[in-house]
Amino acid sequence: MKFSELDISEEIKRATERMGFTEMTPIQEQAIPLAQTGVDLIGQAQTGTGKTTAFGIPLVESADPSDRAIQGVVITPTRELAIQNAEELNALGHYKRVRTVAVYGGQDIQRQIRELKKRPSIISATPGRLLDHIKRRTIRLSQIKAIVLDEADEMLNMGFIDDIHEILEQTPAERQTLLFSATMPKPIQLLAEKFMSDPQKVQIKAKTLTVSLIEQNYVKVRETEKFDTLTRFLDIQMPERAIVFGRTKRRVDELMRALQKRGYEAEGIHGDLTQSKRDLVLRRFKRNEVALLVATDVAARGLDISNVTHVYNFDLPQDPESYVHRIGRTGRAGKTGLALTFITPSEMPHLKSIERITKQPMKRVHVPSYEEALAGQQKVAVNTLKSALEKDNYDAYVSKARELLDDNNAAEVIAAALKVITKEPDTTPVRLTRERPLMVKRNHHHDRRGRNRGYYHSSDRSFRQRGGYRRRSRQRSQHF
C-alpha cells in the first residue's frame, strides 16, 4: 500500500513525498489506520521497520498547531533516538507546521526550556529529562492527546520502568497510548495492562536480512582521528559514487563543509533541507556532479539512488537494522559494493550486535598512512596520463614536450607532470564537534535508586561521578 492511498491530510501526503516515502512497510500499513481511530495500540516489530512513521503520522495528523499546549509525547530510551524521532516528526509535520522538540539528558536544560517556550505540539524525550521538566513545570502533560512508548523493552533493560510509571500517572486518563517494542517481557505486559485500555495488537515478524554482495569492513579509530582517516580512504578507494552517513544534522553539515574545505565534491542532505534544495542535491548526485553524499538516516530513507559503489558509516547508527538499511544502498542489482564502518574503541561491543544480525563477520582494516593515500592519488594521476595517451589528441603539445626533453631528463619531466596533476592528500586542519559514542551494555550496574540501568555512555561524566566503573573511565583517557 502506498502513502498516497492513506486517509490522511494533503499536508502529510506532501511531507511523505518530500521525504521520499512511497510504499509503506508492514508495520506502517497495519498500525497507521488503527492508530488514527484513537484506540490504544501495541506494535511489536524489530527496530528499523519504520515504527517512527507508524506512530508519527497519527501523532502529527491529530495535532493542532494553533493549540499552544503540548498534545503528543514520544518517550524513547536514548538521546540519539529522541533526536532521530524529532527529526522525522518535524519532517512529517513540515507542511502542517506541527513542530516537535527533542529533550534529553546531556544537553543544557535552559536551552531546552527556551525551545519549549516556543510552544511545540509534540515532545520527543528520554524518561529522565522528561521527568526533570515535569518537576520544573516546564512541561505539562495535562492536555496531551497521545503518548508513545518507543522501544519499550529497551527502556525496561535500561532501568527506566519506574520513570515510565511515574510519567504515565501524570497524564490524562482519556489519552491514547501507543506502545512499540521488539519483545514483550512480563514487566511490559503489566505496564500495558495497567495503563492501556483494551489495546489492539499489531505484530510484524522480522525479515531475513541479506547483504551477501556487500564487502563489509571496519576500522577502529579514535573519534578525533575519524575525519583524517575518512579522507585517506577516499584518496585510496576513489569511490565513483558514495554515501557518508552521519548520526545528526549537525554532523552532516560539518562533514560536508570539512570535505569541501579539503577539495572533495560533497553535498549534504538531512531533514531540515527545503524540498527545492533536497531535489537539487539529489539531482547533482545522480548526475555524478558530486561523488559524495553526506546524509542522516532519516534523509536517506526512500532515496531512489542506484550505482552507489561505497557506503561509509562515519558514525555508527543507533541500531543494527539501521546499519543494514544504510549498507543496502550499495550492492544492488547484482553488483558488488563496499561498506566501511568507523568504530571508536568504546563502541566495539556494537560490532558484535551488527555481525549477529547480518550473520556476516566484518573484516578489520588498518588506518591508512599519508603515504598510502598519496600513492592512491598518484595512481589516479598515472591513469589520467595513460588515458590521455590512448586518446591520441595531444599533437599541439608535442613540440613543447620535445623542448622540455632537450633540457631535462625524461623521467624528471614525467615526474613533474605527475606531481602537477596529482591531488596530494590535503592536511588542512578541520575541527568537527564531537559526537557522543553509542551506549554500551554492561551488566550488574545499579544507579542511585538501586535500579539496573544496564547501559551507559562510556564518555558520560555523570556515570563516572556516580562511582561506576572507575577503572573503565581511566582507560577511556587513552582512547580519546
What per-residue string of b and e applies to 395-415 under the rule 16 or more CB within 10 Å gives b? eeeeeeeeeeeeeeeeeeeee
Domains 3-203 and 208-441 share a fold: yes
Per-residue pLDDT of the chain (480 residues; tens, 9 = 90+): 888 899 999 999 999 988 888 888 888 999 999 999 999 999 987 666 788 999 999 999 999 999 989 999 999 988 878 888 999 999 999 999 999 999 998 788 999 999 999 999 999 999 999 999 999 999 999 899 999 999 898 888 788 999 999 999 999 989 999 999 888 888 899 999 999 999 999 988 755 455 667 899 999 999 999 999 999 999 999 898 999 999 888 999 999 999 999 989 999 988 777 768 877 888 899 888 999 999 987 666 556 577 889 999 999 987 776 788 788 888 766 678 899 999 999 888 888 888 887 778 899 999 999 898 888 888 888 888 888 888 888 888 888 888 888 888 888 888 888 888 777 777 788 889 888 777 644 443 444 344 444 444 444 433 333 333 333 333 333 332
The length of the chain in residues reads: 480
Say if residue 123 is exposed, middle or buried (CB neighbours under 10 Å; 0-12, 13-18, 19+): buried
In the chain, where are the structural domains located? 3-203, 208-441, 442-479
Class of domain 208-441: alpha beta
If one counts every other C-beta atom within 10 angstroms of the C-beta of residue 308, the result is: 23
Does the domain formed by 3-203 have CATH 3.40.50.300? yes
